[in-house]
Structure 1
């Protein structure tokens, strides 16, 4: 019998227990903070309580319930445990839809129309073709590539930036610190899809914003810790940036007192861009448990040292 621990300090993962046991009849699930979790062989996680893995001597696998792993990695790299994430076609489709909406929000001037509505002012925003709108994507993994493909199909000029070099047909790609300046200078709408690592924490800050063209817009749907909120507010108030669509925040839920709520240039959404379906999570976790038991290579294995 495989003992699975459902671990989170912020989310209720109880719903996964019956689904996992249906997929793996011989499995047994415990839900944190049940002390029985400490005896588990597999941890299925989102925002794991700090220091918990070290208290689990039988642990053999750490598995995220999503594509992101930054909030389940701390404490795992030192143990040498394999860490896996979920890759789901529905999750990718959801992110593509969200980014397309956010890009259209700025490209078609819906942000300007909404602000004019509040002041009862009638003024038609200029209509420009997609080919005159430059969209830059930070992060060129599976999500970034899928977003780029959809934007290209709609006629946008698409650029991309990542830590390492990538070649994507139709996309002007840039890499590393030396490529960042040219990438930012040629971006009207910046879409952040980077993983969260020590190098990317706080990347959406004053130094980056100042290198974007006057009137550029930001779409934040990577990780909340990428954003330095006060720097974004300052860039919007100065008029250097035109607007932002934000789906993720350093602390969630976003504090009711945060000034981000009330800035007319910002759209706040409640971390809704996309998520893996429960069926996809269970299917991939169950398959990796079978592979673990059979000594086979694991699916969607994460490089813990790189953080993704």
Structure 2
């Protein structure tokens, strides 16, 4: 799991609870019971090497833009499967297509794209190893209505908001 925040941490715990050997990678070390934590650029290759599935739930920052590229795909276990539910700009799509065509990756499920909506001429639409979903991955975690209700309750109770954007971090 690339990303160990609210979504990535939730998904990692779910997979670990199902008995999968699960690891997360993030900017800073995270402590999640029963889950290996890799952090920082120096440990990215180690985080990718042994995984059958790589799921990206990272925030999009200057450091994570294009992080899933030919170099990253080359470090992944041959035959790994990529899932991107974060931001399209994490994936260099031409590099992904090459990795799929060369059987470095066995497939990819993409909920987001570099350019949205995905252009009709994109080779991703017809690639036999690509599954495209309609940018709905976040609905599986929680609904926007629930988030809005929680935030309204926090304001009404005078509590600090739990879902604030840190402009310095970029998410």
Give yes or no for TM over 0.5. yes
Distance in 2 between the 1:195 and 1:299 partners?
16
SS in 2 for 1:261: coil
Partner residue, 1:305: 168
Distance in 1 between the 2:76 and 2:42 partners?
15
SS in 2 for 1:210: helix
Indicate yes or no: 2:77 matched with 1:213: yes
Partner residue, 1:184: 48
> How far is 1:279 from its partner?
3.0
- Scaled by the length of structure 1, what TM-score is found? 0.52
The answer as to whether partners of 1:253 and 1:270 remain within 8 angstroms in 2 is no
Q: What is the Cα-based RMSD across aligned positions, in Å?
A: 1.8
Aligned length: 169
Q: Deviation digits for residues 172-229 of structure 1, max 9, x if unmatched?
A: 1111011111111121110001011111011111111111121111011111111111
SS in 1 for 2:137: coil
Partner residue, 1:283: 149
SS in 2 for 1:303: coil
Partner residue, 1:144: 8
Distance 1:223 1:278, change over 3 A: closer
Matches within 5 A, 1:29-178: 137-178=1-42
Indicate yes or no: 2:92 matched with 1:228: yes
> How far is 1:307 from its partner?
1.7
Give structure 2 stretches of 5+ with no counterpart.
Answer: none
The answer as to whether partners of 2:99 and 2:105 remain within 8 angstroms in 1 is yes
SS in 1 for 2:125: helix
